[in-house]
Each structure stands twice: as C-alpha cells, then as structure tokens.
Structure 1
Amino acid sequence: MAACGGDGGGSESKEPASTAPQQSKGGDKGTTSPDSVPREPIATVKGDGGLELSVFAAKRDDGGFLTVDGEFKNTGSAGFSVPVSWYGLEQDVAATGHSFAGMTLVDSQGRKRYYVLRDTDNRPLTTYAYDGYIKPGQSLTFFAQFPAPPQTTTKLGLQFPGFPSASIELS
C-alpha cells in the first residue's frame, strides 16, 4: 500500500524535478504526455475537436465502487480547451475546478444512471486540477470513481459531454 509524504530520509535533493510525463493514478492530478503507455482500450470513441476518448479499464473493487481509467488524446492539428461541461453541472462540483464530474455511466437494462462519487467536501472522485488545454498529439489520463452496479451488470454505457456513448465491459 502506498502512502503520501516524504521518504523520512531527512535530506533534500537539489536536483531539478523530472520533466518526464507521469500516469494519473487514483487521487493524482491528470497529466499530458506526447506518448501514452501502450495498452489495449476496452472502448474508444471520437469526440469534438479531434479528441479521442479511450477507456482502458472499468474495474469493481471490494468496497462497492467501480473505477474507470482512461485517457483523452488530441488527434487533431489544433489545441483543445477543455469545456466547462466536463466538470459537471452542479454548482458546488463545478466550483472545484477541472475534473471529470460530467461523466456518467448508464445501465440501460437496469434503467439506472450512475454519477461520479463525491467526497465529504463535495469534491468529485476523479482526476482533478489538470491543465485545461490539450496540445495536438498530447494525452490526458484520467480516473473516475462511481458506485458499483449490481454484480449481474456486466456492461454499461459511458457518457461524457462532447462524445457519443461508449459501451464498456466491467471487470
């Protein structure tokens, strides 16, 4: 299990921080990179402005949550400014800044819509505080956490502003 904080070594490096791109993990800020880590998406859809949304995993955990991991890649020739609709429509959530609170999951057979979970301060449990501009060729990794649907549900539709619905298989 990873923990936050220093290494306890007591010495500080005078070296500059690495400029290498980092992958976004749970709770991290999103990053952009010219080359994404090669992995096989479970769904890919093309959206507005040359942006491509790829979902790499939709995984249940023992706590009753479902975490979706993926990336947005700018395949166009112009930069893409993230629209406010990505943050969600609720005033409190939108006030938290760049997030993916506008993402929803739809169970068409169970007739339910699942929204991104919030913490006790009403912050969405998604990648947050990322740069709101994606340059051509760059990718922005993300995660979003939802309440898990019943175990009998194996497929959901992922809906996100500016993209057609993507069908994703749950693991």
Structure 2
Amino acid sequence: MTVRYVGTVRRYGVSALLATSLAFTMTACGGDDGGSAKQDSGKESSVPAGSTGSPAGDGKTVPDTSKILVTAKGEKGIDMVIYAAKRDSGGFLTVSGEFKNTTSQGYTTPNAWMGQEKDVAASGNSVAAMTLVDSKEKKRHYVLRDTDNRPLTTSGFEPYIKEGGSLPFFAQFPAPPTTTTTVDLQFPGFPNTPIEIS
C-alpha cells in the first residue's frame, strides 16, 4: 500500500466523518426547532379561546364548563358565569367560573374588582373583592391570602375583555360548615348571587 493511497483514504475518511457530523448537527437543530414550536403551541392552547391575559399557569384556571350553577348579569353586558363552588379536604372552598363579554365592544375591568386593600392591589389585577356571605351562620368570607398577602384568586390578568371574549377566574375562600349548602356571592357590578356548594 503506497503512501499516496493511504493519504487519499484518510482524506475520504475525514470528509465522510465531517459530512456525517454536519448531517447529525442539522438533524438535531431541526428537532429542537420542532420541539420549541410544539411547546409554544401547547402554551397557546392553555389559554381558553376568547380569553385575555396570560396562560392558566399564571393563575388563570380553565373551569369545567359542562355544568352552569348560575349566571349573574352585570353592568355593560358582562355576565358572571359560575361553574363550580367546591369544598376540598384542606378546609377551603373554591369558586370557579368566567366573565363573558356579551357585547360587540371591549370591556375594561374596573379597579373595584381588586378591592380596596393596598397590599392586594400591589399584586396586580385580581378579583379579590369577591366575597361569600353565609346567611345561616351570619358570616362573610373574604378571599384567602398567602403569606405575602397576595389573594388566592385569579390575578395579573390584562384589564380588558374583548368583544365576545371571556376571562376565566377562580377564588378561594375558607369553607363554611358542612351544614351550609348555599352561600351568596357578592362582587362589584353584579347583583347578589346565591350559589350552591358541591
């Protein structure tokens, strides 16, 4: 075997190795792009159609819409639809639903939805002004707070609901006694709304 032949073989071997490495690199990059696109589309799908603001991971829970407990008609064509008021084992009561803009114009959510507490208002737009009244026990329940005094409710959303759009929400309260099966939900801009606890 001549030196010239060995040199030729080496050159072809290096070229083949480089071509294989380049093909592998391009395939890997293409795979990453596809993965990113899938992740982005997944994030988009977590936001309900017609809603505004950030995905569900930022406090926007997507409620089970298979059953409607009650619909309250609010000001300027805004409906508050309640889907559930559920107790959990930790002694909490979670109310979930959505605000629906039934008009052909956009709706700016009022500051009154946040309540009047400065610490709560500092956490951004929320529905912290929501309260539950237990007429049987003669008690009013406010939205719970975490250790940093942030409300345990949907927060940080854009203060605008486009025409025909909706804003899903949840609010967590101390659970009333098990003997209480109905409470009145009170929220600025809406009438007193009795809801059944499940």
Residue in structure 2 matched with residue 108 of structure 1 by the alignment: 135
SS in 2 for 1:92: helix
Residue in structure 2 matched with residue 28 of structure 1 by the alignment: 58
In terms of fraction of residues, the more strand-rich structure is: 1
Q: Distance in 2 between matches of 1:100 and 1:158?
A: 12
Residue in structure 1 matched with residue 189 of structure 2 by the alignment: 162
In 1, are the aligned partners of 2:64 and 2:83 still within 8 Å (CA)? Answer: no
TM-score by length of 1: 0.84
Q: Are 1:141 and 2:163 counterparts?
A: no
> What count of residue pairs does the alignment treat as equivalent?
157
SS in 2 for 1:14: helix
1:38–1:151 CA distance, 2 compared to 1 (3 A): closer
Amino acid at match of 2:103: G
Residue in structure 2 matched with residue 15 of structure 1 by the alignment: 37
Query: Which residue of 78, 84, 89 maps to 1:57?
Result: 84
Q: Are 1:120 and 2:142 counterparts?
A: no
Spell out, residue by residue over 1:130-151, the C-alpha distance to the aligned partner (whole angstroms, 9 max, x if none).
1110011101101100000001
Specify which structure has the bigger relative contact order, considering alpha-carbon pairs within 8 angstroms and separated by 6 or more residues.
1
Q: CA-atom RMSD, angstroms?
A: 2.2
Residue in structure 2 matched with residue 131 of structure 1 by the alignment: 158
In terms of fraction of residues, the more helix-rich structure is: 2
- Runs of 5+ in structure 2 lacking a partner? 1-31, 49-54
Amino acid at match of 2:135: S
Q: Distance in 2 between matches of 1:61 and 1:31?
A: 16
What percentage of aligned pairs have identical amino acids? 55
